[in-house]
Amino acid sequence: MPAAVPASVSATAPAALPAQLQDFDAYVADTLKTFKVPGVAVAIVKDGKVVLARGYGVRELGQPAKVDADTLFAIASNTKAFTAAALQMLADQGKLDMDGRVIDYLPWFRMSDPYVTHEMRIRDLLAHRSGLSLGAGDLLYWPPTSYTTEDVVKRLANVPIKNSFRGHYAYDNILFAVATLVIEKVSGQSYADFIRQHIFQPVGMDETLVDWTYLKPGMDVATGHAPYDFKDVKPVPPMAWLNDPGAGGIYASVNDLAKWMNVQLAGGKLPDGKQLFSEKSHREMWSMLTPIPIGKPPIPELAPLVPQFSGYGEGWFLSDYMGQKLVWHTGGWPGFVSRLTLVPGQNLGVVVLTNQQSGAAFNAITYRVLDAYLNPAHKTDWVAAYDKAVKKGEAHADDSWAKHEAARDRNSKPSLPLSGYVGTYRDPWYGDILVSDEGGKLRLRFSKTKQLVGTMTPWQHDTFIVRWDDRSLDADAFVNFALDDDGHVREMRIKPVSPLTDFSFDFQDLRPVPVKVGTRQD
């Protein structure tokens, strides 16, 4: 991993760093080395001023270009705050009611439960309290599919609801696709045009792009990286959520996000004194709608981070640290993860963008900055703490695999010849999943997802493991076939092998049944 030499410091930084951050460059360098992150960019704002905007490391492994404060990164779910702001701005203009029914704006909108369909309000789209399970429906756009945004939202009618409406927190992305269509319907503009014209331009975010497709050759942009097979860090293909842009998709630099943080901390007030959104809208976005249960830390060293309260507002997480309210969000994307954190009581903001899938890295940097302002007498080595937590998580994954190995019946064989599993399987919300026999090997293909193609090998009985051709996905899965009384395949079930697999691979919510399947040969 290359040395993380700071590439740039914002020319607008008028204030000295706090004493605890005098060794910040070395601390970030240690963070990158420990968590195998090629590059990172950090910005800190305080009292309306940019204290620091700096890049470290490289945009892509093996290439000389350095990360700087203008380097664009995918900010993933940090996009959600922009979507929430867009809806509130339309409410400020009297074009929609945040408590209005979604069906009043999209009459064809349907959830799988008619009561939820009728009662779903615009505000509910932003609050993760619909009754959907964690990441429900994400396979409609993660990895990228050929579905349109409208296709995705129409398929929501068959995505199962597993919890009570407004009674349970479960993070989702799919309802932000609905929010995207509401913005387009009410504004008469595409989501991209509305966000660009009404948010990016007034805020002065001149470098920011709505999604990857707007990138041009020669731009200052980072390449995402991932640990292939959870091991070797390598570049990954870029991704665009063209069919759910409101959930995640924006590419931004820390210089631009520093401007966004200052507008947020100013209650929506722009540098020219005008309001981007009203103070009322600002309060609503930062008010808790959905409480989030508070769990135990994975290791004792992270106990100081356990909040007194935790919840979700409109596109923002809400919690506390060192007696101060935090308004924050993270973003996860193939090859990129990020965190943006605001401390309203201190007029403080910090954003950390990375080009590797290590949440430990952005957290270690974020909390070093927060400590410098909120707890200057105490200097915690968050790199060491998070490194220990990561190793514990990896050990848990190893234990999980060892248990599968121990339970495996190695002498068992599939009940059917391979041809008996070949066919087309249809899930109510995703669509078709294809199993084919290619040269004596079973191949699994998700019909709308180019990246989800892999080889199935027998595990035990009628369970196989599919190993995806794209090893950056880190999402190999068990594929189980249940047979009917006559020995024909009745249904397929899919489940991630590793607990480290991203929740957006929501294989467990699929219920594929054979539409056309091979004939049993005795």
Residues 384 and 422 occupy one common structural domain: no
- The H or E element containing residue 46 is strand 39-46
- The H or E element containing residue 174 is helix 174-187
| Rounded Cα gap, residues 355 and 498, in angstroms | 23
Residue showing tokens 């309290």: 129
Please check whether residue 338 lies inside any domain of the structure.
yes
| Domain around 85 | 19-395
pLDDT of residue 4: 53
Residues 266 and 371 occupy one common structural domain: yes
| Rounded Cα gap, residues 248 and 333, in angstroms | 8
- For the chain, how big is the Rg over CA atoms in Å? 24
Residues 107 and 170 occupy one common structural domain: yes
pLDDT, average across residues 10-35: 83
pLDDT of residue 239: 82
| pLDDT tens digits along 403-419 | 999 999 999 999 999 99
Please check whether residue 5 lies inside any domain of the structure.
no
Please check whether residue 409 lies inside any domain of the structure.
no
Residues 248 and 335 occupy one common structural domain: yes
Residues 251 and 346 occupy one common structural domain: yes
Please check whether residue 12 lies inside any domain of the structure.
no
Q: Is the pLDDT of residue 7 over 60?
A: no
Residues 332 and 440 occupy one common structural domain: no
| pLDDT tens digits along 48-94 | 999 999 999 999 999 999 999 999 999 999 999 999 999 999 999 99
Residue showing tokens 């620091």: 52
Q: Is the pLDDT of residue 10 over 70?
A: no
CATH of the domain at 447: 2.40.128.50
Please check whether residue 14 lies inside any domain of the structure.
no
pLDDT of residue 8: 44
pLDDT of residue 231: 82
| pLDDT tens digits along 422-470 | 999 999 999 999 999 999 999 999 999 999 999 999 999 999 999 999 9
pLDDT of residue 169: 97
Residues 271 and 349 occupy one common structural domain: yes
pLDDT of residue 11: 38
Domain boundary pick from 395, 429, 462: 395
Please check whether residue 1 lies inside any domain of the structure.
no
pLDDT of residue 518: 58
Alpha helices in 222-303 (DSSP H): 254-265, 279-285
pLDDT of residue 106: 98
Give, in degrees to the nearest 5, the angle at Cα 266 between 88 and 79. Answer: 50
Domain boundary pick from 337, 363, 395: 395
pLDDT, average across residues 297-321: 97
Residues 233 and 176 occupy one common structural domain: yes
| pLDDT tens digits along 263-284 | 999 999 999 999 999 999 999 9
Residues 480 and 435 occupy one common structural domain: yes
| pLDDT tens digits along 203-232 | 999 999 999 889 888 999 999 999 988 888
Please check whether residue 152 lies inside any domain of the structure.
yes
Residue 375: alpha-carbon gap to chain centroid: 30
Residues 384 and 340 occupy one common structural domain: yes
Domain boundary pick from 395, 410, 440: 395
Q: Is the pLDDT of residue 520 over 70?
A: no
CATH of the domain at 296: 3.40.710.10
Residues 372 and 426 occupy one common structural domain: no
In a 3-state reduction of DSSP, which class is residue 258? helix
Number of structural domains the chain divides into:
2
| Rounded Cα gap, residues 207 and 217, in angstroms | 14
Please check whether residue 352 lies inside any domain of the structure.
yes
Pick from 152, 95, 67: nearest CA to 356: 67
Residues 385 and 426 occupy one common structural domain: no
